[in-house]
Amino acid sequence: MDSKADGTTIIVQPAPTAAPKRTLGGRAHAIRQRLTTKHGWIGDYDFGWLCIPTLPFSKRNRRVPPFYALDDNLPILLGIVCGFQHALAMLAGLITPPIIFSSALNLPTELQAYMISASLIGCGILSLVQMSRLRLPGGYFLGTGLLSVVGTSFATLSTAFAIFNALYADGTCPMITGSDGTTSRGPCPDAYGMVLGTALVCSFLEIGLSFVPVRTLKRMFPPVVTGTVIVLIGASLIGESGILSWGGGSNDCHLRPESGIFQLCPTIFAPRPLPWGSPEFIGLGFLSFMTIVFVELFGSPFLKNCGIIMGLLVGSIVAGAAGYMDDSTITRAPAITFLWVHTFKIRVYAPGILPMLAVYVSLAMEAIGDITTSAEVSRLPVEGEEFDSRIQGGLLADGLGGFFSALFTVTPLSVFAQNNGVITITRCANIGAGRWCCVFLILFGVFGKISGVFLAIHPSVLGGVTTFLFAAVAASGIRVLSYLRWTRRDRFILGAALAFGFGDLLVPGIFAHLFDAVDAGKGLKGLLDSITIILTTPFLIAGVVALLLNLVVPSEEDLGKMLDPTHTNGVEHGRDEAAVDELESGVKQEASEHSRSGSEKAR
């Protein structure tokens, strides 16, 4: 407190006291306390609440466990258990894309097992980067600092399928002709290398987007755009992979040829091959699907977090007991493996650049939504500078993850949304659980026999589970669309986008021959091939239409100004556009009344 000559008093606010620095001895004592005491291992968490199933007509009277925030001291055992739950929740989503990619390209069993292991190891390493919060020069960050994990994205599948189809069509990938004249796709690891190289180059787009203000990104890609894209990603994957595998296999056996190795599913060399769509296959897929449903109805919170794995487990037990599974993939898989045991020729497929750029835009928008949800369930603010810095850091980590994942021989990654549900159920948002999750993922990948087990899963069992997963993706897109106010403008944009998206989905070849009559050189042909991939991929063409219409269709405020030029604020900001519709209908009704009165006078 200081005094001036005129008698006034100035109160000086004391400077904040710095937190005392913990000495090396103090840290050692804290670690010893955690390792040697019951509270350090278990804490106050009620593990019985986590493991008791939900029985019909039963009431859960157990005390709800405490919520462990981001920086709380997390008991060791709880961190291990919650991390294991996060790993199980991610597992099906991590193994599905490499299994689908390798099956589409008819790769050898050794490569298929390696791709699964690489996906697990790469996602574990890059999730650690995403959960970090490293300060960079210029006030930027790397990572969210939240329990936000990453995994192989489903958005890449449809674009990769289009690239694969183009490479088989132009002769880059081999086609095998049987003695009876039937053709089938031969192994083509170079096609996977082209997808990796294209994804590596295009990852710089998301890296650049991470430095764009979040508000600008949300204005450019509102829910009417992102929701449409996510809905069609899920719907496309159901038709391209999920339901085909449910019927017995997503390879050429679903065409039911009369001869060749794909005459029966999965192939004629399987232990018990059957025609595609046989009731035995449908039953296996339905069993795995219904297992997920029953776990959700009656399972404990722990089981609900790993319902997908339970579906695979129960379906595989029945399929193995009935003689449908082959253990050769397990015996051939190595005991220990790691990244770069097998490699691919990374090359850029020029016609795939534009479609892959669109994929990265969708990944960026998906990341913004998932990071926002992660902050909400972690009970952190979802607005302000700190939140915006988490979005920026998450997008940068996501873009760099796309770059390094290609070097890890893994397709682009995205922030996983299902782990937010694990946080909600377990009431643990501590980043320590996320680090344990990464440890488990890396271990799952290093032990190669685990990949062999996943590879031995029958396609029908996998199809029942992946159909549910892909439908959940579509449901998340519908959730994004629910944020719309469903004005006339929103309905118009959505309807126009879905017209192209659903049309392309239901009649896949409608745009495939659009440029067949064009005599183009090599450069122009590459551009036309790129446009063809966009036109033949439902979520890409729908996203492009929604994006363009969102830019050119006037908003409700602009429409109000056009209807009433004398009033610049004729339609107030935030006012429901139903009023605009009512105004338009009133104008039409008035015009109709004038027309009727004119007719009566004429008569």
CA dist., res. 24 & res. 35, Å (int): 17
| Whether pLDDT at 2 is above 60 | no
Q: How confident is the model at residue 516 (pLDDT cuts 50, 70, 90)?
A: confident
| Whether pLDDT at 157 is above 50 | yes
* % the chain with pLDDT above 70: 86
Q: Which of 41-55, 257-271, 578-592 has the lowest mean pLDDT?
A: 578-592
Beta bridge partners of 2: 10
CA dist., res. 163 & res. 332, Å (int): 30
**Rounded mean pLDDT, 8-25:** 53
Helices (H), 210-300: 214-220, 223-237, 243-246, 279-298
pLDDT digits (tens, 9 = 90+) for 236-259: 999 988 999 999 988 888 888 888
**Rounded mean pLDDT, 155-164:** 90
- In this prediction, residue 345 carries a pLDDT of 93
Q: Judge if pTM exceeds 0.85.
A: no
Q: How far is CA 420 from the centre of its chain?
A: 13
Task: Give the angle 89-94-96 at the CA atoms, nearest 5°.
Answer: 110
The helix (run of H) or strand (run of E) holding residue 357 is helix 353-377
Instruction: Centre a 10 Å sphere on the Cβ of residue 377 and count the other Cβ atoms it contains.
Output: 18
Three-class SS state of 265: strand
Whether 196 contacts 406, CB under 8 Å: yes
Instruction: Centre a 10 Å sphere on the Cβ of residue 516 and count the other Cβ atoms it contains.
Output: 8
- In this prediction, residue 575 carries a pLDDT of 44
| Whether pLDDT at 474 is above 80 | yes
pLDDT digits (tens, 9 = 90+) for 107-140: 999 999 999 999 999 999 999 999 999 999 988 9
Q: Highest-confidence range of 197-211, 213-227, 508-522, 547-561, by mean pLDDT?
A: 197-211
CA dist., res. 231 & res. 501, Å (int): 10
pLDDT digits (tens, 9 = 90+) for 406-422: 999 999 998 887 788 88
Q: Which of 298-307, 370-379, 388-397 has the lowest mean pLDDT?
A: 298-307
Strands 9-10 and 134-136: unpaired
Mean pLDDT over all residues of the chain? 84
Going by C-alpha positions, the residue among 538, 493, 547 that lies closest to residue 511 is 538
The residue count of the chain comes to: 603
Structure tokens at 69: 């925030």
Q: Which of 95-109, 260-274, 493-507, 509-523 has the lowest mean pLDDT?
A: 509-523
Give residues with Cβ within 8 angstroms of 186, minimum separation 6. Answer: 106, 173, 174, 175, 176
Beta bridge partners of 152: 413
Instruction: Centre a 10 Å sphere on the Cβ of residue 44 and count the other Cβ atoms it contains.
Output: 11
- In this prediction, residue 56 carries a pLDDT of 65
| Whether pLDDT at 565 is above 90 | no
Residue 253: DSSP 8-state: G
Structure tokens at 386: 């700190």
pLDDT digits (tens, 9 = 90+) for 62-88: 667 788 888 888 888 888 988 998 898
Whether 232 contacts 383, CB under 8 Å: no
- In this prediction, residue 272 carries a pLDDT of 92
| Whether pLDDT at 603 is above 50 | no
Q: Tokens 């450019």: give the residue.
A: 220
* % the chain with pLDDT above 90: 46
- In this prediction, residue 63 carries a pLDDT of 67
**Rounded mean pLDDT, 197-223:** 92
| Whether pLDDT at 165 is above 50 | yes
CA dist., res. 397 & res. 582, Å (int): 47
User: Is the peptide bond prior to 65 cis by the omega test (within 30 degrees of 0)?
Assistant: no
- In this prediction, residue 99 carries a pLDDT of 92
Whether 542 contacts 229, CB under 8 Å: yes
Q: Read off the amino acid at residue 106.
A: N
Radius of gyration of the chain (CA): 28
Q: Read off the amino acid at residue 363.
A: L
Three-class SS state of 175: strand
Q: What are phi and psi of 554, to 5 degrees?
A: -65, 145
CA dist., res. 430 & res. 73, Å (int): 8
- In this prediction, residue 129 carries a pLDDT of 94
Whether 62 contacts 300, CB under 8 Å: no
Alpha-carbon dihedral sign for residues 405, 410, 413, 419: negative
Q: How confident is the model at residue 559 (pLDDT cuts 50, 70, 90)?
A: low
Q: Which of 103-117, 257-271, 493-507, 573-587 has the lowest mean pLDDT?
A: 573-587
DSSP per position, 508-520 = TTTTTTTTTT---
